[in-house]
Chains A and B, each alone.
Chain A
Amino acid sequence: MPGLEDLYREIILDHYRNPRNRGELDSPPAHRVEGFNPLCGDEIVVYLDLDDERRITDIRIGGQGCSISQSSASMMSAAVKGHTVEEVGDLTRAFKAMMSIHESSLGGEAAEPVELPDVKLGDLEALRGVVKFPVRIKCATLAWNTLAQGIDEALA
């Protein structure tokens, strides 16, 4: 049986207690996007500043949620700040792969081994235990899906 310590690693609890980049940015100029987890009612708001080189120069996180969704959002904000949207795309794919979600296998095609970007997940590794608690995967990916949507909208 997976234990609580697999899920609630110390680093996760630290991000939950002391969320990074919590708050708002003036929008506009920042891009604001909301995400919902329809199952549990969790909400997240991501504020994004992108520069001309498609780099995330600033990010803020608002909303409410459980320790997993809040800490995942906090870690994400720290991990993506200062990176280009291409780098963030790689990071997102690597993170979702860790959550056992492969973009290519969502398309209905035969699951081929996916070429995973070679990126360091750093603190985000702490969320690896979430896959042992499948109902919580959506909590961990909420912020990432919302960020991806925000980037798409900002570049559109």
Chain B
Amino acid sequence: MALTTPLDVDAIRADFPLLSRTVHDTPIVYLDSAATSQKPTAVLDAMDAYYRTVNANVHRGVYFIAEQATNDLEAAREKVRRFINASSVSEVIFTKNATESLNLIVQSWGRANLAAGDVVVLSHMEHHANIVPWHMLVAERGIELRWIPLTPDGRLDLSDLDALLDGAKVLSVTAMSNVLGTLNPVRQLTDAARAAGAISIIDGCQSVPHTATDVQALGADFVAFSGHKLCGPTGVGVLWGREELLTAMPPFIGGGEMIRDVRLDGFTCNDLPWKFEAGTPAIAEIIGLGAAVDYLTGIGMDAIRAHEHMLTEYTLRTLADRFGPDIAIHGPSDPDLRGGVFSFAFKDLHPHDISQILDQHAVCVRAGHHCAKPLMKLMGVGATARASVYLYNTTADIDALADALESAGAFFAF
């Protein structure tokens, strides 16, 4: 079967300066976009231009470039709003990263609304960023956590979902696993949560960069994601929330920017979204994120998903053809049910040793627990090796991965 892609990948690769570098005198094969993506020139240029020609603190400034900086920042917010189809820019809050977005929800909404015995439903495939903030609230408030189990092929086992959600106040789950690649049925989950009277929080860290996102169609109350995984810079993330909830929530971090008035005896909060943006924001990074979503929108999120679907099919087939039973790829085997994240076990090799040898071939993959230790435990492993793809990867990258794996296998052949 012929594999086709709607993308002009050669042209896309030319947009990413890092992809033309070598490592150990070998052209780099970057297969770690689930950890962070590479950045296109458009993003680098936007940030550089801001610092070179516009740099001034935002909001409040009366002079020309201060107003320009404010406008550029707010224009980036509008770009992000459009990218996720939020109904208003009031619902688009800039944070440091997805981790901070999730902590904001827990610390602000959670502390205002949850008391001892209240139930929060998570899943076994969550990233630590969607576990630890809740554990902190367990310690502080005595809330109760329930866990959606997984099927053997790494999908959410929803057979007892209604029972798990019974009496729950919150459902907080990832849209796509950063370990298994599983794409979860978000709409089904948010519908079930609403029917049970719970709010729903979606960790969109892995899904938003790779699939078209319409927060209104998702039916969630909050969606969190990071800029750096979607071709943007590090240091900026997004929290989208329904305006009604955000309005009712107490502030998270206090300081400048988030206030309307401060007196000796108290303060009043600023309007949304600034109420949740205390202090000088990551202005250049936010502008860079705006450029990133422009870049992705220009290419087309559906085309990106189609390209990665093709690469997923190719990867699963190539690794199975070349290594048969010597390789086990975790997660669903149907490319319709997963994104381009491939955690695998290869022969008896430890993930550290695999990634060390792959590095000699300039193939960048991650080894470790991927900030998902409960999932690792469930899988019965301490760590996995993980390759992940994005719009700039090619079937040749997957061939390079397979070649490097072959030499790792030979090196450790006992």
A40 and B357: CB pair below 8 A? no
CB proximity of A71 to chain B, nearest CB, Å: 11
Partner of A40, one of B24, B25, B382, B412: B382
- Residues on A with beta carbons closer than 8 Å to the beta carbon of B305: none
Q: For the complex, what is the distance from the CA of A67 to the CA of B354, rounded to whole Å?
A: 10
Interface 0/1 of A36-54, CB less than 8 Å to B: 0001111100000000000
B411 is an interface residue with CB less than 8 A from chain A: yes
Partner of B357, one of A4, A17, A70, A136: A4
CB proximity of A92 to chain B, nearest CB, Å: 23
- Residues on B with beta carbons closer than 8 Å to the beta carbon of A67: 350, 352-353, 412
Q: For the complex, what is the distance from the CA of A1 to the CA of B25, rounded to whole Å?
A: 10
- Residues on A with beta carbons closer than 8 Å to the beta carbon of B356: 4, 7, 133, 136
- Residues on B with beta carbons closer than 8 Å to the beta carbon of A13: 412
Tell me the nearest residue of chain A to B384, going by C-beta: A41
Residue tally, chain B, CB below 8 Å to A: 19
**Further pairs besides A1-B24, A42-B383, A67-B412: 8, Cβ < 8 Å:** A1-B25, A4-B411, A41-B373, A41-B383, A42-B352, A65-B352, A68-B353, A136-B352
A40 and B353: CB pair below 8 A? no
Q: For the complex, what is the distance from the CA of A40 to the CA of B350, rounded to whole Å?
A: 10
Interface 0/1 of A68-93, CB less than 8 Å to B: 10100000000000000000000000
- Residues on B with beta carbons closer than 8 Å to the beta carbon of A64: 382
Residue tally, chain A, CB below 8 Å to B: 21
A139 and B382: CB pair below 8 A? no
Q: Give residues 371-392 of B contacting A (CB, 8 Å).
A: 373, 376, 382-383
Contacts known (A40-B382, A41-B376, A43-B382); A66 close to B350, Cβ less than 8 A: yes
CB proximity of B35 to chain A, nearest CB, Å: 14
Interface 0/1 of A13-46, CB less than 8 Å to B: 1000100000000000000000000011111000
B71 is an interface residue with CB less than 8 A from chain A: no
CB proximity of A130 to chain B, nearest CB, Å: 11
Q: Name 9 A/B residue pairs within 8 A (Cβ), A-sorted.
A: A4-B357, A17-B414, A40-B369, A41-B369, A41-B376, A42-B352, A42-B383, A65-B352, A65-B382
